[in-house]
């Protein structure tokens, strides 16, 4: 798969306790992105954050059961990301979604070991 230099970064901000049809929302979104043949997705776990409710989420030792923030980053060409937006809209009940124009410098699979 080729990825154009001028692409789009989709960022989805959710909590690790968010669910979709009984499954963790971040897993459901990544699997759905793969199903839609998007170029790539990564889930990043945050140590601390807050959102619209201003409720603080932290990984401090006294709060082991905290709902830590997660960021899902998905990169692909603009048209494919725009087709994917309605899909995630039906999956999310909260959180935030952003889009950013990016320049892809390097997109390759692993090289076979000689």
pLDDT at 51: 75
What CA–CA distance (Å, rounded) separates 40 from 92? 20
More confident residue, 99 or 113: 99
Range of the domain at 75: 6-103
pLDDT at 34: 97
Give the residue among 96, 99, 88 at the shortest CA–CA distance from 25.
88
- Of the listed ranges 9-18, 54-63, 85-94, the least confidently predicted one is 54-63
CATH number reported for the structural domain that contains residue 46 in this entry: 3.30.70.120
Q: Note the pTM of the prediction, 2 decimals.
A: 0.85
Give the residue among 30, 5, 26 at the shortest CA–CA distance from 16.
26
**In the predicted model, is pLDDT for residue 68 greater than 80?**
yes
What CA–CA distance (Å, rounded) separates 39 from 60? 34
What pLDDT digit, counting tens, does each position of 35-59 carry?
999 999 999 998 877 777 766 666 6
Domain count, the chain: 1
70 belongs to a structural domain = yes
What mean pLDDT is predicted for residues 19-32?
97
């Amino acid at each position: 798969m080729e990825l154009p230099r001028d692409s789009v970064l989709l960022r989805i901000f959710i909590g690790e306790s968010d669910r979709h049809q009984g499954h963790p929302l971040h897993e459901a979104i990544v699997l759905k992105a793969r199903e839609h043949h998007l170029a790539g997705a990564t889930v990043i776990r945050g140590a601390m954050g807050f959102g619209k409710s201003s409720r603080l989420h932290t990984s401090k030792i006294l709060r082991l059961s905290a709902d830590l923030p997660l960021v899902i980053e998905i990169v692909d060409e603009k048209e494919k990301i725009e087709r994917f937006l309605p899909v995630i809209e039906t999956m999310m009940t909260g959180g935030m979604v952003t889009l950013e124009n990016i320049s892809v410098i390097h997109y390759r699979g692993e090289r076979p070991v000689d």
